[in-house]
Amino acid sequence: MAQDLRIITTGGTFDKQYDAIKGELTFRESQLPRILLQARCTLTVHLEGPLAVDSLYMTEQQREEIAQACVHSAEDRIVIIHGTDTMCATARVIAKSHIDKTIVLTGAMTPYSLEGSDAVFNLGSAISAVQLLEPGVYITMSGRILPWDNCQKDSNKGIFVPIR
């Protein structure tokens, strides 16, 4: 089972698409199957999508549901696609569940569906990181791997940085 990986999608900018009728970014279907095919990912990936919500509107109950999805996952290596605004808050809830698995949260500043997206790079980084890291909860964005408790979003720069 070492090559099996679970990817849990929760929404966020990563999966948003432009709706020309509404003139806004909305959720339709996950972009992950297309990205994994494009990337020629050779791992066995199990996709799970309990949510499609902008993380600004995510509730504590939804964060608990994500943590429970990690607990009940048959795989020991889990990547979570999450909105960047509250990714650290969800990582905290997962970490407090004391799950003995390697869990990496990632997302995108620009949707995959738009030119110049960082989604593919961040997903590739997360898939590599989850295979190499010890059990714990991490955030991987913009080529950095940060432990959940030493991470914050720098909204002015659009990146994640260590707290200390």
3-30 per-position pLDDT tens digit? 699 999 887 776 666 666 776 666 567 7
| Residue numbers of the domain that contains 55 | 4-161
pTM here is 0.88
Mean pLDDT for all residues in the chain? 87
Q: How many domains does one find in the chain?
A: 1
CA-based torsion, 45, 57, 105, 100: positive or negative: negative
| 149 or 117: which leads in pLDDT | 149
Phi, psi of 89 (to 5 degrees): -65, -40
69-96 per-position pLDDT tens digit? 999 999 999 999 998 989 999 999 999 9
Find the CATH number of the domain harbouring 36: 3.40.50.1170
Q: Are 50 and 147 in contact (CB under 8 A)?
A: no
Q: pLDDT value at position 53?
A: 74
